[in-house]
Structure 1
Amino acid sequence: MLRNAPPFAELLAGCERSAVHLEMRDHYDDPDEAPRVAAWKSGYRPDPEDRSTWWRPWLDMVAETSARGVAIRRARIVSEPVSEYTRYLYDGTWCNVAAGEQVRWLPRRQANDIALPGNDFWIFDDRIVRFGYFSGEGTYLGDEVDDDPAVIKLCSSAFEAVWERATPHDNYTI
């Protein structure tokens, strides 16, 4: 049953085994991300040796969660050639990996025969799905959670199918 989602940090903190995330959009219009995107467009790249140039609260949550033994996997289905925003995400994904996420990329043309839910989602411990809703321009509109076993099964099956075909971040090139 769909219902309003608790705060994301609460869902991640309650995780014991796994958190998986499927992203299917080529652009997200996140106001918190806008300064980093603008800096990236101007040529700025964080220094991997200077953690203060790239570490942020999200990475703290990932590092703390993975340190507890929770596997965090993110799969991205992307159009190719990639959008400018996807290129930005790609250039910064090493930060996610450094914090403990496993990330894979799947070209959209390789997902034709995978049944995919209509929205991006997270699955926490195979017990709850959090759907994220976005406008056509990529503006975040909100989220809901669902604990219906059939919905969890659909999302889990979609994620695993994408994960199996996708290329690990370190091997994917744009």
Structure 2
Amino acid sequence: MRRDPGPVGSLLPTTVTRRFTTADELDALCAGIESSFVHLETRDSYGTATESPHWAKWRRGEPDDLQWCEPYFRTLRAHRVAGRSCRRLRVVSEPMSEYQQWVGSFVEAFVEAGEDNRYISRQRLIDVLLPASGDFYVFDDALALFLHYAGDGTNTAFEVIDESDIVDSCRRAFETVWKLAVPVAEL
């Protein structure tokens, strides 16, 4: 694990930490990568305040211009231009939940912006060990951020961990599942 101070303004800590953080720091970590981030999603449905009105529009058959995603898309485009890698892996039940069907209706916009997305059926993961907390990010192979959720899909906490064993375990789990997953273009 990297222990040098890193570039000026680096978001990665230089000492081992386990702490709770905010959505703003998650956004900053996504924007501040030096080489890559990976993101594993394991829930069939989420209940974020940002997404809920747009999901409701989709349910009513109304169009969505995705302007609410534009700040994230700008970040992805900047990473793509700079040669940095952003990957998201979605573990889904089959048949897919209504939420995952909604996300699937515009996932191509994430891919076009520069985030490589893949899907895998939960049934294919019987012999794959994943961190029990479920959703996580790994930033620059040096820092993990776990997303904790309530049963209804609302986020309850963000936890940052840079313990090398945990970060390596997350990275290995992600890469194992990534090899099994199906790219969006092949769905």
Q: Is TM more than 0.5 here?
A: yes
Structure 1 counterpart of 2:108, from 94, 108, 114 = 94
Q: How does 1:96-111 map to 2 (within 5 A)?
A: 96-111=110-125
Distance 1:169 1:38 in 2: 24
Aligned CA-pair RMSD: 1.3
> What amino acid is aligned across from residue 58 of structure 2 in structure 1?
W
Distance 2:71 2:124 in 1: 33
Q: Classify the secondary structure of the residue corresponding to 2:127.
A: coil
Query: What is the CA deviation profile of residues 35-75 of structure 1, one whole-angstrom value per residue up to 9, with x for unaligned ones?
Result: 110111111344xxxxxx22422212222222222100000
Distance 1:162 1:45 in 2: 33
Aligned to 1:43: 61
Does the alignment pair 1:19 with 2:37?
yes
> What amino acid is aligned across from residue 167 of structure 1 in structure 2?
V
Does the alignment pair 1:170 with 2:185?
yes
Is 1:16–1:70's contact at 8 Å kept on the other side of the alignment? yes
Does the alignment pair 1:61 with 2:75?
yes
Distance 2:44 2:36 in 1: 25
Aligned to 1:145: 160
Distance 2:167 2:160 in 1: 10
Q: Classify the secondary structure of the residue corresponding to 1:21.
A: strand
Query: What is the CA deviation profile of residues 139-160 of structure 1, one whole-angstrom value per residue up to 9, with x for unaligned ones?
Result: 0112011111100111011100
Distance 1:116 1:108 in 2: 11
Number of residue equivalences? 166
Q: Classify the secondary structure of the residue corresponding to 1:116.
A: coil
Aligned to 2:4: none
> What amino acid is aligned across from residue 100 of structure 1 in structure 2?
G
Distance 1:108 1:163 in 2: 13
Distance 1:44 1:98 in 2: 22
| Poorly superposed stretches of 4+, deviation over 6 Å | none
Aligned to 1:49: none
> What amino acid is aligned across from residue 48 of structure 2 in structure 1?
D
So what's the TM-score if we normalise by structure 1? 0.90
